[in-house]
Every structure is written in C-alpha cells, then in structure tokens.
Amino acid sequence: MSKIDLRSDTVTQPTEEMWRAMAEAEVGDDVYGEDPSINRLQELAADMVGKEAALYVPSGTMGNQVCLMAHTRRGEEIILEDEAHIFMYEAGGPAVLSGCQLHRIPGERGVLHPDDVRAAVRAENIHFPETTLLCLENTHNRAGGTVTPVQRMRELAEVAQEAGMNIHLDGARVFNAACAEGVDVRRITEHVDSVQFCLSKGLAAPVGSIVAGTEEFIARCLRARKILGGGMRQAGIIAAAGVVALQTMVDRLEEDHANARRLAEGIADMAPFTVDLDSVQSNIVAYDVDPEWFSAPAFLDELRERGIMANPVTPQRIRMVTHYQVDSADIERTLDSMTEVLSQW
C-alpha cells in the first residue's frame, strides 16, 4: 500500500531534474563567496522577489532569525500575529538571539488589521520598549494557509512607515500566497523590507531558504548567519536544486491548492469535523474534531493504519497539507479512508 503523506509540504522529495542538477553542480567555498551555484541561486531569488540581494540559509527558522537579528537591537519590541510561526515554533529564538520582546496581536484568520497594529505601537516613553519591527506571515501556517491580500499588505506597510518600523515577511509559503492571489510575488514582497521564503516546502527542494532585502541589510544577515554557524561551504550541491525549484515548481502550486480545496469540501461533509471553508485558501486544510467522537491523535492513528499520515495541530485539530507528491487520486483515497474509519468507529 503506497503512503500518502499530508503531514507537511516539507516532506517532498527532490524531482528528477533536481537530482540531476545536484549531481552536476559546480561548487566552491561559499564562505569565500565562491560557490557559483549558490551565487546563481541568490541572484535568481533576489530578482524573483524584487530585492537588491539575497542570502541562502539552511532553514526557514534560521532565515527568520537572521532577519530579526539584522533588523533589531536588544530590548526592542516586535509586533506579530498571535500564532505566528516566529512566536509558536522557533524555540524562543527572538529572545535568545535578538534579545527582543514579542508583542502579539490577534488577526482575523491570521491576517492583521492595520488599526490593531497602529494601536500596538509603543508611544515615546522611557518606560516602554521601542517598537521597531512588524513581522507578517503570508501564507499563515497556523491559520490554515490563509493569505494576507496585496491591498492589506499595502495598508500594513503604510502603518509601519508612519511608525518608523521595518517589516519582515515570514514568507515560508509566499509563492503559495502569490498563486492564491493570482499575482506576481513581487506585488506582495514590494511592501516589506525583508522576506524569508522556503525552497524546501511546496517548491520541493531538499534543503534551504532564502532571505532577501537591500544589499546593506543582506550584509548584516551574512554576519548573523555566521554567528549561527550557517555558512555551508560547498552547499552549491543543494543550492542547485533550489534553482530548479524556482524555475520549475512555482507555476504548479495551483494544483496543490485545487487538491486542498477538494479535500476540504469532502471533509466538510463528514459529521465529526468542522472546516472553515473560507480559510482554505492555499495548500493547507486545518479542521476541528468534535471531542464527542474522538481526539485528533486517535483518529490519525487509524488513518495511519491505512497508509495516510497527517499531524494534529492541537488535541482537537488536524492539519493536512497538499504538495506535488499528492495527486487528485490520493485526495479521493484519503477521503474514502476517512469515511471508512468513521463507519467503523
């Protein structure tokens, strides 16, 4: 029985073309700036998101953290959404590495309101930390892959400018956001000072993320990456797959979105589950489990017996993520298996 892995789009395997590019990659010592494959990836990535420069980093977490280190000084305050990845899943990195305080504000389906951000900015007062950075997440992971629309990005940028804050975008899945909006990704990234995006999620490269911004900003990120030990020498081997990811995997993301929509609509018809269909905007389907029936882990154990894997987000919430190794037949098999588990419960 073949497996269907819906735990995350991070589980994707490299494509044939990526394997070939990795085998043939020209490499050098990147700490000397001499790896042609990395330099090529960085130039291509900067161009695609409309920034002056870019830096290859081992992970999305490191990408976000080097950007925070480069943007802030100790004791400053960072505004971000209540359940942002930077707050939830980065092991307290902003406190450990940047010495910054996080000021969380609730969004609507992960999308911040400009008035709430404006109200959260600290006034000039010796007692208060200085608010110097706004972090956005597009698409928003915990909210279920929701998109902050271009117009909202613009409004938030205006608030940041008024307040003298920079904006960092955790764009781990920013190409999914652009696809969902039907716009070039630059329409989203033009409103932020820095962006981090992952090559290793829906774009299916084996390793790595990109951070992008001005040349001067990226020079500071390079130093921060050095502090974290993220200089990877002949990493052109993996960067070569990143180039293929950017060239070949962006335009197909709409298939993942269509599969997520079909999955969500099927789940919406099943009694124990509640799906907010309006929140299914990209490749993530997050839904609640009625505690009268079972817990999320108990249900997922049964599903795993049938070769289908997904993760619980909380004891009563499940997340399923579509990606290029999940096709429409896999979605139908997932829905059939879920129905079968329910019928036997």
Among 8, 12, 194, 281, binds ligand TLP (CB under 6 A): 8
Residue 307 has phi, psi (to 5 degrees) of 85, 10
Interface with ligand TLP includes 325 (CB under 6 A)?
no
Q: Which stretch binds ligand TLP (CB under 6 A): 56-64, 110-118, 229-237, 273-281?
A: 56-64
Choose between 15 and 176: whose C-beta lies nearer to ligand TLP: 176
Residue among 223, 189, 233, 216 nearest 66 (CA): 223
Interface with ligand TLP includes 81 (CB under 6 A)?
no
**Residue 233 region by backbone torsions, left for phi larger than 0, else alpha for psi between -120 and 50, else beta:** left
Choose between 42 and 61: whose C-beta lies nearer to ligand TLP: 61
Interface with ligand TLP includes 283 (CB under 6 A)?
no
Interface with ligand TLP includes 59 (CB under 6 A)?
yes
Choose between 172 and 244: whose C-beta lies nearer to ligand TLP: 172
Choose between 48 and 62: whose C-beta lies nearer to ligand TLP: 62
Binding flags for ligand TLP, 9-28, as an x/- string (CB under 6 A): -x------------------
Q: Which stretch binds ligand TLP (CB under 6 A): 20-28, 53-61, 230-238, 295-303?
A: 53-61
Choose between 69 and 341: whose C-beta lies nearer to ligand TLP: 69
Residue among 339, 318, 322, 307 nearest 259 (CA): 322
Cis bond upstream, residue 10 (ω within 30): no
Interface with ligand TLP includes 198 (CB under 6 A)?
yes
Q: Which residue of the chain is nearest ligand TLP when measured via CB?
A: 60
Q: Which residues of 289-316 are buried (b: 16+ CB within 10 A; e: fewer)?
A: beeeebebeebbebbeebebbbebbeeb
Contact 228, 65 (CB under 8 A): yes
**Residue 208 region by backbone torsions, left for phi larger than 0, else alpha for psi between -120 and 50, else beta:** left
Among 12, 61, 72, 131, binds ligand TLP (CB under 6 A): 61
Instruction: Give the number of C-alpha atoms closer than 13 A to the C-alpha of residue 117, restricted to the C-beta side.
Output: 30
**Integer angstrom CA distances of residue 37 from 18, 28, 223, 241, 323:** 13, 8, 21, 9, 26
Binding flags for ligand TLP, 135-164, as an x/- string (CB under 6 A): --x---x-----------------------
* Number of chain residues interacting with ligand TLP (CB under 6 A): 15
- For residue 156, how many other CB atoms are within 10 A of its CB? 24
Give the chain's largest Cα–Cα span: 64
Among 55, 134, 172, 237, binds ligand TLP (CB under 6 A): 172
Q: Which stretch binds ligand TLP (CB under 6 A): 25-33, 57-65, 252-260, 333-341?
A: 57-65
Binding site for ligand TLP (CB under 6 A): 8, 10, 59-61, 64, 85, 89, 137, 141, 170, 172, 198, 200, 209
